[in-house]
């Protein structure tokens, strides 16, 4: 990790050479968004700008702040009001109190505790007693023994993220957060039915969570964004009965063969599919009258792009890490009446150049997440 000389405010670490591997220092709401992303035309991958997780980033120092004991002047310097303050080891009670008072001036900043090998390690959330007004919180500490400390947070929490833990923890403490707008869960399934009662949710991310079907999500009438990553939830038949989805992301879901339900989402605006190896055919998209952006990445079972012609409002298509495709495979896109931009990632400069000649459209930008769905923007 890089840091400014003489300062404790730290930069985001460089991307790992191994695709999909990111240090735990990344907040879950951002790491979950970019862990699956590979560099592609139209996307800056230098960590200085882009739209990540629906948030436009201009400089990491503006939105990510690492703190530790003893707190320094730099750690408490002004920061982006939509940023994240995080720590990887426990602070002193005095520093927790100071940090809690400082965060009172930043009501939309996310507070995050994560596992980073620090000492003392974070094993519970009792420190939240120093943050009685904190409405956005994430815990990515694998050694958490319980989450009862969430009880110190106010009832009107609007953003919550719980990363994977070694111990199987009950999600029952979440049931009182009736104002929750954005929720990210990784690996947690005990008492997961409490999600059904969180009917103010507009954004839900389930990572490494397997559900028999989507029944528990059908009460979420306000849901606008749904991300299902990893795990083995392979029955998506109830998708059209869940909220009013504008953004849908499906990533590397084990055993998923059928995505036909997507074709019945008449509110969908942005579809993101990645690394679902058993999907060999896209569904007809005639009913998706608001679908403007489609992202296909490492979808090695797909060779026929003809179904894309049925998306009546499609303007942007990203093909990332689709090296199995040949330039001739995208020729069909030339006849799409509304398509305006195409991002080409066919595995080589030669193939990308040939494809660009066959479909002479400007490149699209790399967009991950929905820019308007972060509850902190409202």
Residue 239 lies in a domain: no
d(CA 8, CA 91): 15
Please state whether beta strands 110-114 and 203-207 pair in parallel, antiparallel, or not at all (unpaired): unpaired
Q: Is 226 within the bounds of a domain? A: no
Q: Could you report the per-residue pLDDT of 254-286, keeping only the tens digit for each? A: 999 999 999 999 999 999 999 999 999 999 999
At CB < 8 A and 24+ separation, what contacts does 65-69 make?
65/9, 65/10, 66/8, 66/9, 66/10, 66/25, 67/8, 67/91, 67/95, 67/99, 68/8, 68/118, 69/95
Reported pTM: 0.85
| Average pLDDT along the chain | 86
55 domain-assigned = yes
pLDDT given for residue 117 in this prediction: 75
- The angle at the Cα of 229, spanning 305 to 140, to the nearest 5 degrees, equals 150
Q: 């038949």: which residue's tokens?
A: 237
- Structural domain including 135 reads 1-154
Contacts 24+ apart (CB under 8 A), 231-238: 231/206, 231/207, 232/256, 233/206, 233/209, 234/258, 236/261, 236/262, 237/213, 237/261, 238/213, 238/214
Q: Is the pLDDT of residue 20 over 60?
A: no
Furthest-apart CA pair in the chain: how many Å? Answer: 65
| Res 26 pLDDT > 90 | no
pLDDT number for residue 67: 97
* 76, part of any domain: yes
- Average pLDDT of 12-29? 39
d(CA 286, CA 300) in angstroms, rounded, equals: 24
Tokens of residue 47, six digits = 């960590």
Produce one character per residue of 287-319: b if its CB has 16 or more CB atoms within 10 Å, e if not. Answer: bbeebbbbbbbbbeebeebebbbbbeebebbbb
Q: What is the pLDDT of residue 24?
A: 54
Q: Return left, alpha or beta for 47; rule: phi > 0 is left, psi -120 to 50 is alpha, else beta.
A: left
pLDDT of residue 371: 58
Answer yes or no: is pLDDT of 87 > 80.
yes
User: For the segment 311-359, what is each residue's pLDDT rounded down to a tens digit?
Assistant: 999 999 999 999 999 999 999 999 999 999 999 999 999 999 999 999 9
Residue 196 lies in a domain: no
Tally of domains within the chain: 1
Q: Give domain status of residue 60, yes or no.
A: yes
């Amino acid at each position: 990790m890089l840091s400014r000389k003489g300062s404790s405010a730290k930069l985001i670490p460089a991307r790992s050479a191994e695709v999909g591997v990111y240090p735990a220092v990344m907040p879950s709401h951002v790491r979950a968004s970019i862990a699956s992303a590979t560099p592609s035309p139209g996307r800056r991958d230098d960590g200085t700008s882009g739209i990540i997780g629906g948030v436009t980033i201009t400089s990491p120092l503006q939105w990510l702040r690492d703190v530790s004991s003893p707190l320094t002047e730099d750690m408490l310097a002004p920061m982006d009001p939509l940023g994240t303050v995080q720590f990887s080891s426990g602070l002193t009670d005095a520093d927790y109190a100071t940090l809690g008072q400082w965060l009172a001036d930043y009501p939309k900043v996310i507070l995050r505790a994560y596992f980073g090998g620090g000492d003392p390690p974070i094993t519970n959330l009792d420190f939240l007693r120093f943050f009685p007004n904190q409405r956005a919180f994430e815990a990515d500490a694998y050694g958490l023994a319980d989450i009862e400390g969430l009880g110190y947070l106010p009832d009107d929490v609007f953003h919550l993220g719980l990363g994977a833990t070694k111990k199987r923890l009950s999600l029952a403490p979440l049931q009182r957060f009736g104002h929750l707008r954005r929720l990210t869960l990784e690996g947690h399934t005990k008492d997961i039915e409490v999600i059904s009662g969180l009917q103010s949710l507009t954004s839900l991310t389930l990572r490494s969570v397997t559900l028999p079907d989507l029944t528990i999500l059908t009460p979420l009438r306000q849901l606008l964004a749904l991300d299902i990553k990893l795990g083995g939830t392979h029955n998506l038949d109830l998708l059209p009965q869940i909220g009013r989805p504008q953004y849908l992301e499906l990533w590397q879901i084990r055993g998923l063969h059928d995505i036909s339900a997507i074709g019945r989402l008449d509110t969908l605006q942005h579809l993101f599919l990645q690394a679902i190896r058993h999907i060999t055919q896209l569904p007809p998209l005639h009913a998706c009258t608001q679908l403007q952006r489609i992202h296909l990445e490492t979808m090695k079972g797909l060779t026929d792009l003809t179904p894309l012609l049925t998306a009546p409002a499609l303007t942007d298509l990203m093909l990332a890490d689709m090296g199995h495709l040949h330039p001739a495979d995208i020729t069909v896109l030339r006849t799409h009446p509304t398509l305006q931009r195409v991002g080409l990632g066919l595995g080589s400069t030669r193939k990308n150049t040939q494809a660009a000649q066959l479909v002479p459209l400007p490149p699209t930008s790399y967009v991950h997440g929905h820019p308007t769905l972060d509850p902190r923007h409202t």
